Amino acid sequence: MLDFSILINNLDTYLEGFKNTVLASIIALIGSFIIGVIVAVMRIAPIKPLNWIGSVYVEFIRNIPLLIIAFFFYIGLPAIGVTLSGFVAGTIALAIYTASFIAEAIRAGIQSVPKGQMEAARSSGLTYLQAMRIIILPQAIKIVIPPIGNQFINLVKNSAILGMIAGLDLMYFGDLVSSHTFVTFDVYIFVGMFYLVLTIPLSLGVGYLEKRLARSH
Amino acid sequence: MFKSKTSKIAGILLLSASMLLSACGKGGEKETAGTAKNALEEIKSKDKIVIGVKYDTRLFGLKNPSTGKVEGFDIDISKELAKDILGDEKKVEFKEVTSKTRIPMLNNGDIDAIVATMTISEERKKEVDFSDVYFDAGQSLLVKKGSPIKGLKDLKKDTKVLAVKGSTSAINIREKAPDATVLEFENYTEAFTALKSGQGDALTTDDSILYGMADQDSNYELVGGTFTEEPYGIAVKKGNKELVDAINSALKKMKDNGKYDEIHKKWIKSN
Amino acid sequence: MDIAGALSVDNLKFLADGFKVTLYIAFVSIVLSFIIGIVLGTLRYAKIPFLSKVVALIVETIRNLPLLLIIFFTFFALPEVGIKPSITVAAISALTIFESAMLAEIVRSGLNSIDKGQIEAARSSGLTYTQTLWHIVMPQALRRMVPPIVSQFISLLKDTSLCVIIALPEFMHNAQILYAQNVNYIVPIFIVVAFMYFIVNYCLSLIARRLESRQV
């Protein structure tokens, strides 16, 4: 049987980690969404250099491990004089990494809106940015919600890498509990349960949205 | 699309499933202790001893990427063991362990023995068998030269002390300096890199390991002397008296014929 | 920063050794998880009483856990219950378990995307359910699944780096050993490691894109 006394005796530790995992996820979620939208707009804006920058960002970040980005912010940046705590470095890395996937999802969404709409909006006197904000983005958002939702689930799972740079998250504290109690199996099962408490509702929500949006099309 | 329904079931059933899993798992735990009897015979019959050593600990076990060889005090001791038990110091194979992976690796049969800056402790004795002490270390602190931290008493609130997961020093420091913030890392590489990156004010572990770091980077020094005793032992799987005896007799021979002192002098300058 | 020192011939060779391990572990895990993923995804799609539900439960649970936790669990927790994998076996198992669950979901939605009318037509022309699945639905679905499967493989290749926590001598681990030598190596080594991953994964993603465009 699972030894629930481990959970009870170390509940404060678990909850501290859980709190930081939630916090890192929320901050990275907002950050990645903002960066993702900016990069997506850069990729499709009618200005070539912006397209290139956006493409380089997406292609490069998507194709390297999150761990390298996290290590870079944690122990690479101090080499040039910027020191970030594990929590901050990890959260920034998460936002930057996830943003590349979100940008790609948004770009696909925007490009699925017929080109004619942009032309019509422009000819009725809106600037490019206005047309984007008022006409295109609201439609695109509906299409991109399910893939973005999936990226957010991935983000929560990926936040576990904070544990590798002393980011004080669930994984980090789970690890501490296990090295101090000399129990691993039960400790990690509890860690897993805490993650499921976060990810299962998210999955349910994304599944629900997917179903609803599929119906409305 | 019945994803949501199944996710719900997943959520509800997970608890019971994990309980079941651990329930049947715990049954098997007890059988494992007696399986590896006569590890000594086994080592002799395969004519090779596989030893788990550190790859990231200067002076004790450090991988040299240029030569592909591991070098250090633990390595030389291991070679002497192979020489005594199998008659040839080349009949030893090294595998990398970290403070976290060494006990699982020993228990799953990846390695025959651990010679990896491992402190003999009561907790660990429940999981592995130890040889006699082969090195006396003590926990200390490593700081950047000129740091205001001169010893344990300076580890106040808001000081960040770096340690390694699964090491005795990580546990000790919380008792000795309860106010300080302790950050734990996967291995010494990460911990020392973090210290050098300014992610902490001091790094704590055995003085022997810290000397290696100070040796690598002269901007760092040990302060405050030692505040625990960390006797290193060679660990083998539980219930292998023959192997422990063979290791102890090899250690004794090394000490008697001066080989131990020679190795000690080669690697350990201070003390 | 010490670029010349960090990227000496010996160091690059050492990194290459690590990269070989990364590729090997990723390749074995890809093959295994492809097979298991197809089996699990099909079982879940087929709506076999009880069995499909059990598969769904397992797949959903694993999909919702961090891979890092699964790697930890495989290597550090399983020995407590008598299963004692070596580092390589633990790494391959953990990656396979996680990626199989991810692939199972891709396979299931691929199968779901095939028009139900086709199944009915095939059934009424005398094929059994299994035959229909095997000869009619699967070949079409597989073609649609190729791009997401390739993306998943890219993820797997990147995720191999997480095995650094169990000291698997892969790319990231060897990078760590190198920058342990000298703090000035950190940035150059990171750049090389990032570029190696980028080159391999970018090529894979180009292949995925070509396959995708060919389909339309």
Measured between beta carbons, which residues in chain A are less than 8 angstroms from residue B123? 182
Which member of A68, A160, A188 has the closest CB to residue C77? Answer: A188
**pLDDT tens-digit profile of C6-51?**
888 888 999 999 999 999 999 999 999 999 999 999 999 888 889 9
E strand or H helix at C69: helix C67-72
* Torsion angle of C-alpha atoms C116, C118, C119, C122, degrees rounded to 10: 160
E strand or H helix at B93: strand B92-96
Distance of CA B43 to the CA centre of its chain: 22
Angstrom distance (rounded) from CA A201 to CA B3: 12
Residue B64, pLDDT > 70, answer yes
Residue A109, pLDDT > 80, answer yes
Tell me, what's the pLDDT at C157? 94
Residues 6+ apart with CB under 8 A from B41: B242
Query: Residue B137: pLDDT band by 50, 70, 90 thresholds?
Result: very high
Percent of chain C scored above 70 by pLDDT?
Answer: 99
**pLDDT tens-digit profile of A130-189?**
888 888 888 887 888 888 999 999 999 999 999 999 999 999 999 888 888 878 899 999
Measured between beta carbons, which residues in chain B are less than 8 angstroms from residue C112? 1
Angstrom distance (rounded) from CA C206 to CA A81: 37
Measured between beta carbons, which residues in chain B are less than 8 angstroms from residue C162? none
CB burial of C88-116 (b: ≥16 within 10 Å; e: otherwise) equals bebbbbbbbbbbbbbbbbbbbbbbeebee
Residue B28, pLDDT > 80, answer no
Angstrom distance (rounded) from CA A166 to CA A86: 5
Measured between beta carbons, which residues in chain C are less than 8 angstroms from residue A65? 158-162, 172, 197
The answer to whether the Cβ–Cβ distance between C53 and B6 falls below 8 Å is: yes
The whole-angstrom distance between B72's CA and the closest CA on chain A is: 26
Tell me, what's the pLDDT at A28? 97
Contact A75, B193 (CB under 8 A): yes
- Would you call C69 an interface residue with chain A, using a CB distance cutoff of 8 Å? yes
Which of C127, C116, C107 shows the shortest CA–CA distance to C43? C107
Q: Which amino acid is at A86?
A: G
Distance of CA B46 to the CA centre of its chain: 26
Query: B227 phi and psi, to 5 degrees?
Result: -125, 10
Instruction: Read off the pLDDT of each residue in B154-175 and give the average, rounded to a whole number.
Output: 89
DSSP secondary structure letters along chain A: ---HHHHHHTHHHHHHHHHHHHHHHHHHHHHHHHHHHHHHHHHHSS-HHHHHHHHHHHHHHHTS-HHHHHHIIIIIGGGGT----HHHHHHHHHHHHHHHHHHHHHHHHHHTS-HHHHHHHHHTT--HHHHIIIIIHHHHHHHHHHHHHHHHHHHHHHGGGGGGGT--SHHHHHHHHHHHHS--HHHHHHHHHHHHHHHHHHHHHHHHHHHHHHHH-
**In this structure, what token pair is assigned to residue A212?**
């609803």
Percent of chain A scored above 70 by pLDDT?
Answer: 98
- Would you call B15 an interface residue with chain A, using a CB distance cutoff of 8 Å? yes
More confident residue, B212 or A89: A89
The answer to whether the Cβ–Cβ distance between B110 and C11 falls below 8 Å is: no
**In this structure, what token pair is assigned to residue C114?**
């095939």
- Would you call A183 an interface residue with chain B, using a CB distance cutoff of 8 Å? no
Tell me, what's the pLDDT at C172? 92
Query: Residue A73: pLDDT band by 50, 70, 90 thresholds?
Result: very high
Angstrom distance (rounded) from CA C121 to CA C136: 10
The whole-angstrom distance between A100's CA and the closest CA on chain B is: 26
Tell me, what's the pLDDT at B270? 55
Residues 6+ apart with CB under 8 A from C8: B66
Residue B10, pLDDT > 70, answer no
**In this structure, what token pair is assigned to residue B254?**
């090394």
Name the packing angle between helices C138-159 and C186-215 (round to 10°): 170
Angstrom distance (rounded) from CA A155 to CA A27: 11
Angstrom distance (rounded) from CA A158 to CA A143: 24
Query: Residue A217: pLDDT band by 50, 70, 90 thresholds?
Result: low
Residue B217, pLDDT > 90, answer no
- Cβ atoms within 10 Å of B39's Cβ, excluding its own: 21
The whole-angstrom distance between B47's CA and the closest CA on chain A is: 34
Q: What is the pTM of this model?
A: 0.86
- Would you call A172 an interface residue with chain B, using a CB distance cutoff of 8 Å? yes
Residue C94, pLDDT > 50, answer yes
**In this structure, what token pair is assigned to residue A113?**
């809106």
Which of C94, C100, C88, C83 shows the shortest CA–CA distance to C169? C88
- Window 2-21 of A: residues touching B by CB (8 A cutoff) are 2
Q: Which amino acid is at B26?
A: K
Any idea which of A55-59, A70-74, B96-100, C25-29 has the lowest mean pLDDT? B96-100
How many H helices and E strands in chain B?
A: 10, 13
Tell me, what's the pLDDT at B215? 86
Average pLDDT of chain A?
90
Which member of C69, C79, C161 has the closest CB to residue A192? Answer: C69
> What is residue B55's DSSP assignment?
S
Angstrom distance (rounded) from CA C95 to CA C155: 11
Reported residue count of chain C is: 216
How many H helices and E strands in chain C?
A: 10, 0
Residue C155, pLDDT > 50, answer yes
**pLDDT tens-digit profile of B241-259?**
899 999 999 999 999 999 9
The answer to whether the Cβ–Cβ distance between C183 and B68 falls below 8 Å is: no
DSSP secondary structure letters along C173-202: HHHHHHHHH-GGGHHHHHHHHHHHHHHHHH
Which member of C69, C162, C194 has the closest CB to residue A64? Answer: C194
The answer to whether the Cβ–Cβ distance between B65 and C14 falls below 8 Å is: yes
Which residues of C lie inside 8 Å of B (Cβ-Cβ)? Answer: 8, 10-11, 13-14, 53, 56-57, 60-61, 64, 75-76, 79-82, 84-87, 112, 164-167, 169, 174, 176-181, 183, 186
- Would you call C47 an interface residue with chain A, using a CB distance cutoff of 8 Å? no
Angstrom distance (rounded) from CA B208 to CA B138: 8
Phi-psi region of B109 (alpha: psi -120 to 50; beta: other; left: phi over 0): left
Residues 6+ apart with CB under 8 A from A112: A140, A143
- Would you call A117 an interface residue with chain B, using a CB distance cutoff of 8 Å? no
Tell me, what's the pLDDT at A140? 81
Query: Residue B271: pLDDT band by 50, 70, 90 thresholds?
Result: very low
- Cβ atoms within 10 Å of C202's Cβ, excluding its own: 17
Tell me, what's the pLDDT at B22? 40
More confident residue, B22 or A72: A72
Contact A198, A156 (CB under 8 A): yes
Residues 6+ apart with CB under 8 A from B252: B132
Measured between beta carbons, which residues in chain C are less than 8 angstroms from residue B68? 14
Angstrom distance (rounded) from CA C50 to CA C53: 5
Instruction: Read off the pLDDT of each residue in B214-232 and give the average, rounded to a whole number.
Output: 91
* Torsion angle of C-alpha atoms B2, B4, B7, B8, degrees rounded to 10: -110
Residue B114, pLDDT > 70, answer yes
More confident residue, A191 or B217: A191
Residues 6+ apart with CB under 8 A from A122: A128, A131
Percent of chain B scored above 90 by pLDDT?
Answer: 50
Q: What is the number of CB-based contacts under 8 A between chain A and chain C?
A: 109
- Would you call C150 an interface residue with chain A, using a CB distance cutoff of 8 Å? no
The answer to whether the Cβ–Cβ distance between C82 and B28 falls below 8 Å is: yes
Measured between beta carbons, which residues in chain A are less than 8 angstroms from residue B22? 1-2, 185-186, 189
Where are the alpha helices (H) located in chain B, listed in sequence order? 3-29, 39-46, 73-86, 102-107, 122-125, 168-176, 188-196, 207-216, 241-256, 259-267
Residue C113, pLDDT > 90, answer no
The answer to whether the Cβ–Cβ distance between B194 and A75 falls below 8 Å is: yes
Residue B3, pLDDT > 50, answer no
The residue of chain C with its CA nearest to that of B217 is C182
C-alpha distances (whole Å) from C161 to each of B35, B53, C69, C91, C198 are 34, 22, 14, 10, 13
Contact C56, C101 (CB under 8 A): no
Measured between beta carbons, which residues in chain C are less than 8 angstroms from residue A59? 198, 202, 205
Tell me, what's the pLDDT at A23? 97
The whole-angstrom distance between A168's CA and the closest CA on chain B is: 8
Tell me, what's the pLDDT at C51? 92
Question: Which of A55, A57, A64, A185 would you mutate first to test chain C, the one with the most C CBs within 10 A?
Answer: A64
Instruction: Read off the pLDDT of each residue in B197-201 and give the average, rounded to a whole number.
Output: 89
Query: Residue B37: pLDDT band by 50, 70, 90 thresholds?
Result: low
> What is residue B117's DSSP assignment?
S
Query: Residue B196: pLDDT band by 50, 70, 90 thresholds?
Result: confident
Question: Which of B22, B103, B105, B196 would you mutate first to test chain C, the one with the most C CBs within 10 A?
Answer: B105
The answer to whether the Cβ–Cβ distance between B98 and C183 falls below 8 Å is: no
Which of C196, C172, C170, C175 shows the shortest CA–CA distance to C29? C170
- Would you call A211 an interface residue with chain B, using a CB distance cutoff of 8 Å? yes
Percent of chain A scored above 90 by pLDDT?
Answer: 58
Query: Residue A216: pLDDT band by 50, 70, 90 thresholds?
Result: low
